[in-house]
Structure 1
């Protein structure tokens, strides 16, 4: 079991609500604020636009939400925050009460306006946050409405009363303004650049009493040169308490003022707080669980709370919003939302919304379609009117398809299908190769395996919606593309692998985290074909082989190799619950007639990976996905394949759970004889009839009813027959997988033996050399010259795409000795990568570059005999955003005998010069006559510079091709 932080204030006594047994009293907003959860504890409304929360951290990965439980200082209270993301943004319009005029707010500034605080003087509950700043003796309370909030400050007697407004806080400021409307009203804007490259936010601030003095700070100097900070001082004779009402808008200052007037107006702090608590209580009542275990109840309702924080409303009270074109649009038909972490949330959070948020799901989809209208494409990860292009896949597609297939139709289905198809037909992010070859080659696009797999699932959801809409040709095309996962399956290792120049990326280590996968390794992606689990099972050799491979997943060593990936956490073997690609895997045992194994694993994950503690979430919360897994699984089922309308049964955690549906019906789940040891299902019945299958259908939930489990302490035979297990299977428009080169060096000396393979039984392979006629492959063959190999596979009347591979012949007299070791994940093709004649492209992730981490390059090329050499060229890469820096110095030494070297003039690069762009630099040396040995040394940049995101770490050196002319 994971270690957790335990603190006394986690008792329910710190939650403030008038009803003793309210569900809000079981929400602990501090869960996820420690570890790598990246949540915030402050006040927000369900799916609200404002997130009013303390900021304890200015930067760094574990400061993505602005707050981390391990911190001791509060820098202020800003009005926008992201929940559980892996990238930092927001933290807009910071206010901080203090009693000393000081505009400093850096982490190193001892005299700054930040203030020390203690968790024992901190409280949080849905819609409310309170803290005592013990350094200044100021008590702060905050609460919110949808687009607005109130700060309540209590200053100590006989101290100055100052409120700092800081528009510089966190993100790079593109433009800002502070307009003094009156002694009690301030308005302005803050446009910033972070993850969202052009976020536009406007604000309106009202003080409960007039300030007596204001001073400004400008980064340009002076008091009036476009100030970014202001200090408002208030008269102490007018009392110790001050309220500050704030509203925000993405449209304009007038919009912020309207939002404030409509939502708060003359309401008191207590009124707004009470309304927020009532709204949250109503939300949480959508699922009512019954248990004597208060810790588990707290974890459940905190998880449910986290699923209701994002997506975020992004529209003013008058219906105006800022679109993806950054222009102002009007909507009277739906509420517009932003912050869709779709790579995460399509898996469970959005399927949860189709049950308890049907009306809001329509708004979510209409918001996605508005982004398509305004910006030209369905978003991947939209943030504040910006496309971030973060993560892989086009997962707005399954969100729409899943809703449509469940009968949620409050959107234009024809337009939605057009937008879905448009995403799938793009010519970027590897889709050109995907459409042409049926997979993405390593050399064409980074994270090629993950993209191939996730595109295939997304395409299946397009196919299913096309079938439901009677679009026959689209159904055929996308059901074929849904099978492209087969093209990255290696039948020998039984893993999903990168295809590098039509061979398998090698050497292969399934534990290695490298650029072929998205935040994962091969273990964590080799079970991802939720649309065709039967097909994946067949590739692995059938049910028995599939079950054995699943067993190996959960019992493998719980460590990874390759690059450091902070997202891979919560390991049980190589199952990584802290990141989304693993989330469906425990439920796959149901598909091989072994539901008891699913019950064991789900019970273990529920109890080990979630705790009532700050580090109580085993990875980034990811805008509700980590929590949605818990909500579903604790009720006893999970959507392994969104758009299938199936929920796979696991094991219930509670004696009873009731889903209160929007149509007024209830779906109840009861567990009889439940205990920590009685985690296995002995039998089940649905609405009084025996349920002998290990899955339920969406309509069975939405029609209301009762699902009753009888629990036991030993695995049973419940739902173990073939007709009782779930199945996802593609049976129409079957494809033939593309062949691969199982053996043979693409760059070789003298000769190389070629073996071909295909991940399909009873399938023929045909090949052609240098455009000769195709002939049937029967056995390995040898090539000794540079040539083009073309291949395809055929089964019955179906054939795969034709693949072309260029084989290069290396001068057999040429050899290279590497004195320093490259990283396998960036091997460039192996020991001869620097002399194989193949050049690396501008994207380092495409496999041709050879990478050295915190090491110099030391290589000696042997020409085989003395030759006249005019020039030596060496190519290096820079991508500082990815920790890759040019070398600082490059030396070239030449020798006739390999012992006595003459050093040529040293070449230097200003590698420390900051750059946002990737680049390639060619270094050349003029050599001379009678040279056999050429030694290249390139000095690694070393320690990453101060100001770099990875400061404190070490740089990478990337090299590819040493050319001898």
Structure 2
């Protein structure tokens, strides 16, 4: 009977194998693409969206090109760890490293220049093999073949040794990121368990593991800080390693299963027992291959070159790596509040590189992974409930606070717009409101002024543009929930991009809080007003309102001309080797995300043929089937998702709208096999490298004369037929209806930036549009057209709650601006209680913003004469809170300046003057002015530092005071 089962099983394997050989799109996948240059990908084994990314590590330094753990230019391997990030620009992961060793063991990992100084081994790319779900390499120094495959929560190792004798299996918990705490338990002679808690990009990552070896080890040793812990089977510490000693025969394989959990050792053990039961390495490899065959088989393409198929299916492979499952088989997971939760009705995931992936990765996944996309949405809702806001860049239940915006709202709005409903939309909206109404990251000023001021927050132009788009996404959800007032409110905010467009130069430009443009404007300069880019790369980031931005540019032809200049204006400024501004075509930078939608904007100008021309150029020049084939960081699937969509012939230029912009497919036939059982087909007749221009289009047998495709057309299994030619058809898709969704009255503003005054305050409300009418109240109530119209400036001599809004014919009412105008007086204290210096609280921890340390217990407190970094016991991962009094020598207007690396904030009498909630260079200076009465006033300053080039400078100027560092004589505190 057993023999019969074996025969049946082998028959199934042969059938599956032959099926793969004839149909499997995995044959075109090359996991080495992106492992060279600055792609930062890894070649190891993983199943789609799996928890485990089992891959070789060639670097454990902090080099930029070591972010993925592996770089193709390296010639030695440190070992094989179980977690990796796909194409990020910051390092992390590389947890639970294993290395098979023969001969003498050196517990140091060694260096790439001199592998013999450690346990790493030389290897040759000739011996490497990588395919979806499988990786193998021969370690030259140890004469062992290493094979890796993966399950959902497990990594599978297979080591085959050339020579008989004693071999060593090294488990290194020191490898890679700094360890907070770790533990190793020797359960018996085949099982080892433990945990590793580390800090780096993820400030507090907890990982647990359970490992099972196929052959009992003869002995085992545990080391702490390279010293053996004698006669112990359990150890805790921060520098733990262990070696299992096993005798093997010549050619004998050793198999190891490693299960992970972010909950507990017991969770890892349960994952091992559940998922690995009855599964050996070969079965696991087959299952991984089968999963990849199914996922990669959702899209079939015909035509194109072999290189283009490799690029396409490798790109599709990269889009299916993240986000990663982050819960145990019983549904338990560790939340962003540090507590253990159970996922009810959804699967929890981690690694949300949202600033990158909202653009193309998640729109692609709404097509080929709709149910999973709903899980992503619900998962983010839960994270916001646990964390207090939507994370910006979630990693291992931490928010790295990397990048800008609140793009979780884009993912959610896009999913719902495309008919994905397996998540709680009402809860999602509540968390959207909570996030958008925070006073962090320039949002308070953004709500008041209608833009983020450049003198008060770094990356101000980029923040304004991305917040406006995010607010449009929230408005769409509010509309779906019949929240008309909130729809109007957020659509007003979505118009804020208009407030930083300088008609005189034709670009989005930095503006200070007194409504003046930042001087010395150069649209090609990469500077502090922009996030990894310049004004060329950001000015057209208004995906939600192309009609509105076209109106600012004064017409479709001007939009076309602007885009022409984008793609032809050369970069004047020298860029470093590690810059994110890469993949340049003129000022267009395909190596970074802000440019990704721009080639498709020609469609809105009536020059669709230029979109077709440019997307083909980008695909042919920026993607290659070589290790250095990516022009920039892969960024968790975004770089590849752009290619997948564009190669199929369309792109999501505004996530949140259930519509795609048509480009130029590189394949003659595309089939998308949908989860609903239907198939969308696209045929590009007469297609070739030269024949890249659409001559005509038919959708379901009817002429299509527009350059857009509905999501419903795809999901309903439509047929799109394109006739291609070598010359552009400049008459196809020229009639563009640029109808605005919402037309809000332009925002008004108070000419005085500060809300504080001494004796009298001149209320002067202005608008840059002469056609608006302004109405106001002084009691905080909402103004309307039946109330007070602002006709001329007037004075007040007491505190008031000013509210005002604009009205304009044929427009919706403008947003209500609220300003609490406060008459100020100096504080009165008993003279004997006032002492010199400021109180400080010094914190040590993983801080990403000037707010992160506020609830922590300080490492120490004391008094300092001036704000200083001399009190720091280390130069990274710190926070300092300075507070006390400042003695103003003479009544009048004072201007305060702060420069720091990384972030800082300043408040006077409880009014926050500015904050830089994110990493930046000390070259960016913040400044703000306000009226202060002579005497004592409360002052509070915050500072935090991640790493690199720590600095803090605090200056002022005022009546009779030239700009200078604030002297120690004016800093005071109360002696309790």
Number of residue equivalences: 812
Q: SS where residue 372 of structure 1 aligns?
A: helix
Residue 113, structure 1, aligned to residue 119, structure 2: yes
- Report the equivalent of 1:495: 507
Match of 1:941 in 2: none
* 1:919-949: CA deviation from partner (whole Å, max 9, x where unpaired): 636799xxxxxxxxx9x9xxxxxxxxxxxxx
Q: What secondary structure is seen at the aligned counterpart in 1 of 2:209?
A: strand
Distance, in Å, in 2 between the alignment partners of 1:271 and 1:243 is: 12
- Gapped runs of 5+ residues in structure 1? 1-14, 742-755, 768-772, 778-789, 806-835, 850-876, 887-912, 925-933, 937-958
> Using a 3 Å threshold, how does the CA distance of structure 1 residues 794 and 472 change in structure 2: closer, same or farther?
closer
Map of 2:596 onto structure 1: 583
**2:218 match: secondary structure:** strand
Secondary structure of 1:132 counterpart = strand
Aligned: 1:422 with 2:434: yes
CA displacement 1:469-527 (0-9 Å, x = unmatched): 21111111001000000111111111111112421111111111111111111111001
Give the Cα–Cα distance (whole angstroms) in 1 for the partners of residues 955 and 554 of structure 2.
51
Partner of 2:90: 87
Match 1:838 to one of 869, 884, 895: 895
Alignment of 1:27 onto 2:29 = yes
Query: Alpha-carbon deviation of 1:18?
Result: 5.0
- What does residue range 188-337 of structure 1 map to in structure 2 within 5 Å? 188-219=194-225, 221-223=227-229, 226=236, 228-237=240-249, 240-337=252-349
Name the counterpart of 1:101: 105
| C-alpha deviation, 1:766, in angstroms | 12
Distance 1:542 1:338 in 2: 43
Match of 2:179 among 156, 173, 177: 173
Measure the CA separation in 2 of the matches of 1:477 and 1:453. Answer: 17
> What residue in structure 2 maps to residue 551 of structure 1?
564
Q: Distance in 1 between matches of 2:733 and 2:421?
A: 36
Partner of 1:466: 478
Of 57, 74, 79, the residue aligned with 1:76 is 79
Question: Which residue pairs with 1:11 in the alignment?
Answer: none
Equivalent position of 1:67 in the other structure: 70
Structure 1 residue 731, shift from structure 2 partner:
2.7
Q: For 1:271 and 1:101, how far apart are their aligned partners in 2? A: 32
In structure 2, what is the Cα distance between the partners aligned to 1:66 and 1:758? 53
| Alignment of structure 1 residues 749-764 onto 2, 5 Å | 760=769, 762=771
> Which of 48, 57, 60 pairs up with 2:59?
57
Distance 1:320 1:915 in 2: 34
CA distance in structure 2 between the partners assigned to 1:310 and 1:193 by the alignment: 21
Distance 2:674 2:219 in 1: 54
Contact 1:342 1:380 in 2 (8 A): yes
d(CA) in 1 for partners of 2:74, 2:717? 46
- For residues 331 and 617 of structure 1, do their structure 2 counterparts lie closer, same or farther at Cα, with a shift above 3 Å needed? same
- Quick check: 2:160–2:254 contact (8 Å CA) kept in 1? yes
After superposition, the CA RMSD in angstroms is 3.7
**Cα displacement (A) at 1:217:** 2.1
The answer as to 2:713 corresponding to 1:656 is no
Give the structure 2 partner of residue 920 of structure 1: 952
Q: CA deviation at 1:289?
A: 0.6
Structure 2 distance, partners of 1:881, 1:391, is 9
Cα gap change, 1:322 to 1:765, in 2 (>3 Å): closer
Q: What is the SS of the residue equivalent to 2:244?
A: strand
3-state DSSP class of the match of 1:400?
Answer: helix
Q: 1:613 to 1:239 in 2, by over 3 A?
A: closer
Counterparts of 2:708 and 2:636, CA distance in 1: 27
Contact 1:445 1:845 in 2 (8 A): no
Alignment of 1:123-142 (within 5 A): 123-142=129-148
Alignment of 1:437-448 (within 5 A): 437-448=449-460
CA 914–492 in structure 1, closer or farther in 2 if over 3 Å, else same: closer
Q: What corresponds to 1:862 in structure 2?
A: none
Partners in 1 of 2:100 and 2:332 — Cα distance?
32
Does the CA-based 8 Å contact 2:162-2:251 persist in structure 1?
no
- Does the residue aligned with 1:419 lie in a helix, a strand or coil? helix
CA distance in 2 between counterparts of 1:574 and 1:442 reads 23
5+ long unaligned stretches in structure 2: 1-16, 752-764, 777-788, 794-802, 822-892, 907-914, 925-944, 957-961, 971-976
- Helix, strand or coil at the partner of 1:256: helix
Return the alpha-carbon distance in structure 2 between the equivalents of residues 524 and 757 of structure 1: 30
Rounded Cα–Cα distance in structure 2 between residues aligned with 1:243 and 1:264: 12
Which residue number in structure 2 is paired with residue 927 of structure 1? Answer: none
Counterpart position of 2:761: none
Q: 1:399 to 1:915 in 2, by over 3 A?
A: closer
Deviation at 1:373, TM superposition (A): 2.4
Q: 1:16, 1:25 within 8 Å by CA — same for their partners in 2?
A: no
Q: Which residue of 1 aligns with 2:159?
A: 153
Rounded to whole Å, the distance in 1 between the matches of 2:714 and 2:355 is 26
1:954 corresponding residue in structure 2: none
The separation in 2 between residues aligned to 1:615 and 1:253, in whole angstroms, is: 39
The residue number in structure 2 matching 1:409 is 421
Kindly provide the CA deviation profile for residues 855-890 of structure 1, in whole angstroms up to 9, marking residues without a partner as x: xxxxxxxxxxxxxxxxxxxxxx9999757599xxxx
**Secondary structure in structure 2 of the residue aligned to 1:58:** coil
- Residue deviations 1:580-614, cap 9 Å, x none? 10000000011011000111101100111110011
> What whole-Å deviation, never above 9, does each CA across 1:349-390 have from its counterpart, x for those lacking one?
111111111111111111111112222222211111112121
Q: 1:423 to 1:489 in 2, by over 3 A?
A: same
How many Å apart are 1:838 and its aligned residue?
Answer: 3.2
Tell me the residue number matched to 1:681. Answer: 694
Structure 2 distance, partners of 1:118, 1:125, is 17
Contact 1:103 1:217 in 2 (8 A): no
Given that 1:311 and 1:340 are in contact with CA atoms closer than 8 Å, whether structure 2 keeps it comes out as yes
Matches of 2:140 and 2:281, distance apart in 1: 23
Distance (whole Å) between structure 2 residues aligned to residue 512 and residue 761 of structure 1: 33
CA distance in 2, matches of 1:538, 1:167: 58
**Kindly tell me: are residues 406 and 18 of structure 1, through their superposed partners in 2, closer, same or farther at Cα, counting changes over 3 Å?**
closer
Cα deviation code 1:378-411 (max 9, x no counterpart): 2211111112121111111011111112211111
The answer to whether residue 742 in structure 2 is matched with residue 731 in structure 1 is yes
